Amino acid sequence: MYLADEAWPDLERYFDEESLAIVPLGSTEQHGPHLPEGTDHIIAEGFARAAAERTGFLCTPTINIGVSPHHRQFHGTMWVEPPVFRDYVESFTRNLAYHGIDRVIFVNAHGGNVQHLREVGRRLRDDGTIYAIEWMWNESIPDLVDEAFAQNGPHGGPKETALIQHLRPELVHDDRLEAARDGGLTSFDEATMRQHGARTFYDAIDNTDNGVLGDQTDATAETGRRLFEAASDQLVDLSEWLAARPFAELMPKDHV
């Protein structure tokens, strides 16, 4: 069920009978010369809607702009400051609690949002309002992602390219995949951009001239389909697991 498509009287039964909502979040930021700036929120909404259709749980509208100042040097990147993002998401989620939701899955497809969603989840759980957790698709199927690509990348790489080839192929510039690879960073490890144990970079452009990492030519729509289906299964299982938990079990334990 997609909340924005429903008339308010038709939502009453859901709020009376169910307690879980799925909230997609992403970003609007550069994803190299080959992918749309909406890559992250397209992916998040794809997973959230697919899980909602399969389970019957409620999917909210997507939060399209996240914490992305580290991509600001590239044209069109949009962002909000971390405190603004946290307060907005917290307010948005408390709104769901007002209607009777007491557990939320943040279906997140942008790494810059992670720590802030975790902080919001803690705030809401600590005051007993709601249990909210953050989920990222690639973290639910790490072995499959690693097996799929010789040179994976955390941003604009083959895994995101493959998913957009599957979800929105008309938005992928397939003729730029080699340029994306050759102008980005394909060889990197834990020591990249570190000095004597310190992480020395703040912005994506400090690492990669065109904003992306990995070998984008490894991506195919078929691989994207396999990744999407496998991660969707994980999100469905998580939704059903969370819905089945007694609310008291999800709240903080008493002091010892």
**pTM of the shown model:** 0.96
Task: Give every residue of the chain whose pLDDT is below 70, as ranges.
Answer: none
Distance CA 28, CA 26 (A): 7
What pLDDT score was predicted for residue 199?
Answer: 86
Distance CA 76, CA 78 (A): 6
Mind listing the pLDDT tens digit for each residue in 237-254? 999 999 999 999 999 999
State the DSSP H helix or E strand holding residue 199, giving kind and residue range, or none if neither.
strand 198-199
What pLDDT score was predicted for residue 192?
Answer: 76
Residue 141 is assigned to a structural domain of this protein: yes
Cβ neighbours, 10 Å, residue 247: 12
Residue 255 is assigned to a structural domain of this protein: no
Residue 256 is assigned to a structural domain of this protein: no
Domain count along the chain: 1
Domain containing residue 139: 3-250
- For residue 226, what are the contacts with CB-CB under 8 A and spacing of at least 6? 144, 148
**Per-residue CA distances from 8 to 55, 101, 145, 146 (Å):** 21, 15, 40, 44
What pLDDT score was predicted for residue 151?
Answer: 84
Contact call for residues 159 and 227 (beta carbons, < 8 A): yes
Residue 121's Cβ-side half-sphere holds a number of Cα atoms within 13 Å equal to 19
Looking at residue 204, what DSSP letter applies? G
DSSP H helices, the chain, are 8-17, 39-55, 82-98, 114-126, 137-140, 142-148, 158-167, 177-183, 221-244, 247-250
Residue 68 is assigned to a structural domain of this protein: yes
Looking at residue 107, what DSSP letter applies? E
Q: Could you tell me the CATH number of the domain that includes residue 35?
A: 3.40.50.10310
Residue 194 dihedral angles phi and psi, to the nearest 5°: -125, 145
Residue 223 is assigned to a structural domain of this protein: yes
Mind listing the pLDDT tens digit for each residue in 204-237? 999 899 999 999 999 999 999 999 999 999 999 9
